[in-house]
Structure 1
Amino acid sequence: MSIETLKWRESPDREAPALIILDQTRLPVEVAEVACGDVETVAAAIEELKVRGAPAIGVAAAYGVALGAWQALAAEEESAAFRRSVGDAVERLARTRPTAVNLFWALDLMKRVLDANSGASNRELYELLRDAAHRLREDDVAICKRIGQHGAGLLKDGDRVLTHCNAGALATAGYGTALGVIYAATEGGKRIEVFADETRPLLQGSRLTAWELMQHGVPVTVICDNMAASVMAARKVDCVIVGADRIAANGDVANKIGTYGVAILAREHGIPFYVAAPTSTVDMKLASGDAIPIEERKPDEVCQGMGTRTAPQEVSIYNPAFDVTPHRLVTSIITEFGVATSPFEPTLRRWTTTGSSETDRA
């Protein structure tokens, strides 16, 4: 089954366009879509996790900028005001979620499109920005498939993989990063089984990963987060594969809260810990994970996330959305250019600077 996380709706008669988002807050109970017709509805969808996952957030933000350009075009703003409106759209979207670097990578790309076309009309600029978002979406799917191809070689027939959160088609424009590795392996004829951590507090593992894998016919078992150690100790896990929201130059990885603990457990039990992500997730400006900004979300996600209060009314709640896994716990980082091993920095720098691996350039 093909899962469309994001799609663009625009009719030939120039009716107002919209970004159609698969609402992930309603899965797995209901498959429903949300139509976003302006910058604010896209920003709200990102903040409310209707669309989530670093690559998907980046693509959604790019389309949000295109919608901002359409709004300015429809309002018949003169050129300078049009450009200011697009800039305002970029600034609003940049405030949505601080950890996922793909968001800022995509917004920088859209700003470059705007700046590189100083002589273009407002209509031309809108079309250039929209087309840039289209290319970003198409590229993301192609990149995820390349990640899957590189990572599939790390899996053996019959492997049992543990994953945390959701890094599949739902977290990207299609196919996925961590789950993309699993899909590529199964498409190559390997039999793979998955343990999906439920991923507290918002249950992206049990709600999204389990649902997505079932759509693809991949055997999946949901476990509570605090069961991971026992499952590993019972020798039921052959490797761990997770995604990433930001990777520092040294290979430190920011990913969904709880990933660090899984990495520690994997090291203790001698289990490979793989990270799958596009190079747009690598932030070479940050020397280590200490500098990665960690989003803190609302307390209600922890104490009232399942419809009933699960903690005393006045108790303090700490709810960071991500943690940082030190590079020393990471076996390999899988990107569209290949598989990097420690020391990570030279390889990540080459890939993010030249856009190719040694093999690609040969």
Structure 2
Amino acid sequence: MDIKLNKALQKLINDKTSGSNELLLSLHKHIKKELKIFQLFPALILELKQKFSPFKNIQKYLGDFQVALKKKNKLEKFFNLYDEMLLNIYDNIYSKCKNTLINYSTFITISNSTTVFEIFKRLKKDKSHFKVYVSESRPKYEGRILAQKLAIEKINVQLITEAMLSEYVKNSDAAIIGADSILKNGNVINKVGSNVLAILCKHYKIPFYVLADKNKLSNNNSYDKKLMPSDEIWKQNNNIKIINYYFEEINKKLITKVFTA
């Protein structure tokens, strides 16, 4: 295996702060650039499937790539399809949710979703003044990344902790999150803290929207929780048992609407 490629992929695998669509785009670029390595080592795809197991869109992409790789005349069609899809995906989602979101002036979200960022960026062109509360999202604090990106776009943004969600939900017009997976039963998998946000929205009668591309749709009705390193929560834990999960399930009854394209 090419050492340079291995390091690049390892960096991508270890990225715990980027959204799933951002990871997919980076992976797509890597595979296009280093196609010969994947042709020589098709087992790499199986390894990547395991490493990116929580992300439904990446699983579908790798499955499609696996099929195309077996039929070399299909590779060009595969790359063209994903080039077009990844280029237009946010415009397509925005076209579905624009007429709904444009009615709100204050939003609340959590973590770092590329889809959420791209939708807010497009909304800024149609609605110059609105505010976004971003929950920081422990343990990796991805919300800080989203807040910085929104600030660069000159969007009015305020960063809060998960403990402050209740106060800021009741002062919001709508909640928006991305999704790492949408289960067959309609439930959504997203970053831990999303379920608390959804429950609070239900309590305060605030609409709760999910934005995702169709590659997030799953054929499963359940997902396996993956326990993450405890020292991400507290390095000096004095033998205290620490539980660290990145993702959780949101019941469809708590979701106002899912916008997909």
Paired amino acid for 2:82: L
Contiguous gaps of at least 5 residues in structure 2: none
Give the corresponding residue for 2:234. 303
Give the corresponding residue for 2:19. 53
Secondary structure in structure 2 of the residue aligned to 1:153? helix
Give the corresponding residue for 1:103. 58
CA 1:140–1:67: 2 relative to 1, 3 Å: closer
Match for residue 226 of structure 1 among 163, 171, 174:
163
Match for residue 316 of structure 1 among 237, 241, 249:
241
Question: Quick one: distance in 2 between partners of 1:260 and 1:248?
Answer: 15
CA 1:184–1:258: 2 relative to 1, 3 Å: same
The answer (yes or no) to whether the contact 2:102–2:127 under 8 Å persists in 1 is no
CA 1:51–1:256: 2 relative to 1, 3 Å: closer
Q: Which has the higher contact order (CA 8 A, sep 6+)?
A: 2
The answer (yes or no) to whether the contact 2:211–2:260 under 8 Å persists in 1 is yes
Between Structure 1 and Structure 2, how many residues are aligned? 260
> Whose Rg is larger?
1
Paired amino acid for 1:148: Y
Matched-pair identity in %: 20
Instruction: Give the 5 Å matches for 1:138-217.
Output: 138-156=84-102, 159-168=105-114, 177-206=115-144, 208-217=145-154
The answer (yes or no) to whether the contact 1:62–1:107 under 8 Å persists in 2 is no
Secondary structure in structure 1 of the residue aligned to 2:51? coil
Deviation string, structure 1 residues 210-244 (Cα, Å, up to 9, x no partner):
111011111100011110101223xx200000000
Secondary structure in structure 2 of the residue aligned to 1:303? coil
Match for residue 190 of structure 2 among 255, 263, 279:
255
| TM-score, normalised relative to structure 1 | 0.66
Contiguous gaps of at least 5 residues in structure 1: 1-17, 19-35, 73-81, 169-176, 305-310, 337-362
The answer (yes or no) to whether the contact 1:252–1:325 under 8 Å persists in 2 is yes
| TM-score, normalised relative to structure 2 | 0.90
Secondary structure in structure 2 of the residue aligned to 1:90? helix
Question: Quick one: distance in 2 between partners of 1:139 and 1:167?
Answer: 18
Question: Quick one: distance in 1 between partners of 2:124 and 2:12?
Answer: 31
Deviation string, structure 1 residues 38-69 (Cα, Å, up to 9, x no partner):
1x324322332167322223333344444553
- Larger helix percent: 2
Instruction: Give the 5 Å matches for 1:1-362.
Output: 37-38=4-5, 40-49=6-15, 52-66=18-32, 69-71=35-37, 82=39, 85=41, 87-117=42-72, 128=75, 132-133=78-79, 135-156=81-102, 159-168=105-114, 177-206=115-144, 208-233=145-170, 236-283=171-218, 285-286=219-220, 288=221, 291-304=222-235, 311-336=236-261
Question: Quick one: distance in 1 between partners of 2:119 and 2:25?
Answer: 21
